[in-house]
Amino acid sequence: MADTPDAEHPSALRLLATRLKRKMPGNGNGGRPHRLRYAHLIGWGKYLPEKVLTNAEIAQMVETSDEWIVARTGIRERRIAAEDESTATMALSASRGALETADLNPADLDLIIVASASPEHIFPATACLVQDALGATSAGAFDLSAACSGWIYGISLAAQAIATGSIDHALVIGAETLSRMINWEDRATCILFGDGAGAVVLGPSDRPGGVLSSVLGADGSGGDTLSVPAGGSRMPASPETVKNHLHTIHMDGRKVFRFATRVMRQAATEALEKAGLTMDDVALLVPHQANSRIIQSAARALKMPAERVVVNLDRYGNTSSASIPIALCEALEEGRVQPGDRLLAVGFGAGLTWGAAVIEWMAKPPLERPWRSRLRAVLYALARVRSRLRRWWRHLETWLFRPPAPGA
Ligand code: COA
């Protein structure tokens, strides 16, 4: 990807480096056709805030009970971001973990995608903030808005960019601070959501495996069943929108429930067919963690035994785009995934959107390389310095080089 920030005033050395880089395989193809490659998941990381909010605590805020919430959703507690935490800070922590397990330096990244329904701002993209904080100086970065299906959309796009040779390494993050977009007086929604982030690094390989297939879907006719109505161009922020809680999540739970049980099975089946596989070939189902009844219904329809389904929503609630990568990370940490295993990730969300991906896991457990970790810690510290210097230089440049007066 282009070295965006420095492209304004490229030094001769930088131009030479860019030209050389473009000639390397996988870094822009100079018009040459590329042989298709495989996009493997080579790194993974997650971040969950420390603060736990239990059902009992929510029952002190709205009229509900632990029994009702557990019976209807399977959720027992969720994590809530601290005041100094946000989508970008959690995405950054998960990303550092993913670069660590991939044993990759930030400058090796070509692309950063942050899937989020609760981004840091409308713009700039949270992905750009992560790019800057990591010091991923060669990466393009953008946010992806597909709600809870966002991470699957992200790995699907990244895998295709890697397979065609247009990039080598991509960081795909799902990160959410939904606690800031909840109406804490609405018992139908405030019980469901939690905060957190999960990230993966994808890289190229000639060995078959990695993202074998993906299916993406959308049905905008259902957009109003799950939405944050205000804050965009249709309904800009005003005292009324704030007073009427229109910047918070609005949901028709029953409609979403019916939609979810239908598309989970449909998307999973299509992704398997595309990969030329059946459910018997799948070692582990990693579903979006929205509601245990939705997960059980999908598992039943797919004839997947409960022990081969990853479920962690009892501890984290629905973390939207972060839920699948967090569940994947936990499954890896618990030793539930071995090289050669095929995983089926499937999700659904606002939009309405849905997606599924079949992944053949090829990564081995990460090796301890303390000096490489220390080097990365130094690189992160340098990234902070670089960011400050660039800001400072931008101020100075604006002051020194005023644009010519009109007509001059
Ligand atoms: N505690 C106690 N009662 C509650 C409640 C709560 N937290 N939330 C709703 N209720 C009440 C309702 O007011 C309703 O009362 P009424 O019959 O007197 O009107 C009753 O419980 C049944 O409500 P209903 O909405 O039909 O419950 P449900 O069985 O559909 O469960 C959800 C509600 C939200 C748990 C369920 O619909 C769901 O999980 N939907 C999917 C949501 C989702 O996954 N969203 C994210 C998608 S990414």
CA-closest candidate to residue 282, choices 374, 192, 199, 357: 357
Residue 24 has pLDDT above 90, yes or no: no
Query: What is the atom index within ligand 1 of the atom nearest the CA of 65?
Result: 1
pTM of full prediction above 0.85: yes
Q: Take atom 38 of ligand 1 and give the residue whose Cα is closest.
A: 253
CA-closest candidate to residue 116, choices 167, 175, 61: 175
Q: Quick: pLDDT tens for 158-194.
A: 999 999 999 999 999 999 999 999 999 999 999 999 9
Tell me the C-alpha distance between 214 and 223, whole Å. 23
CA-closest candidate to residue 95, choices 58, 49, 50, 43: 43
Tell me the C-alpha distance between 73 and 279, whole Å. 25
Beta strand 284-287 with 342-349: parallel, antiparallel or unpaired?
parallel
The pLDDT value given to residue 34: 54
Please, are residues 141 and 79 in contact by the beta-carbon 8 Å criterion?
no
Q: Quick: pLDDT tens for 312-357.
A: 999 999 999 999 999 999 999 999 999 999 999 999 999 999 999 9
Q: What is the mean pLDDT of the chain?
A: 92
Please, are residues 158 and 172 in contact by the beta-carbon 8 Å criterion?
yes
Q: Quick: pLDDT tens for 221-272.
A: 999 999 999 999 999 999 999 999 999 999 999 999 999 999 999 999 999 9
The pLDDT value given to residue 406: 83
Query: Helices 370-400 and 126-134 sit at what angle, rounded to 10 degrees?
Result: 110
Tell me the C-alpha distance between 85 and 133, whole Å. 14
CA of 49 to the centre of ligand 1 (A): 26
- Measured from CB, residues less than 6 Å from any atom of ligand 1 are 64, 68-69, 72-73, 148, 187-188, 191-192, 226, 251, 253-254, 256-257, 260, 290-291, 318, 349
**CATH placement of domain 38-360:** 3.40.47.10
Tell me the C-alpha distance between 79 and 326, whole Å. 13
Mean pLDDT, residues 67-90 taken together: 98
Query: What is the atom index within ligand 1 of the atom nearest the CA of 189?
Result: 34
Report which DSSP code applies to 318.
Answer: B
The pLDDT value given to residue 35: 59
Q: Quick: pLDDT tens for 98-128.
A: 999 999 999 999 999 999 999 999 999 999 9
Name the residue ranges covered by the structural domains of the chain: 38-360
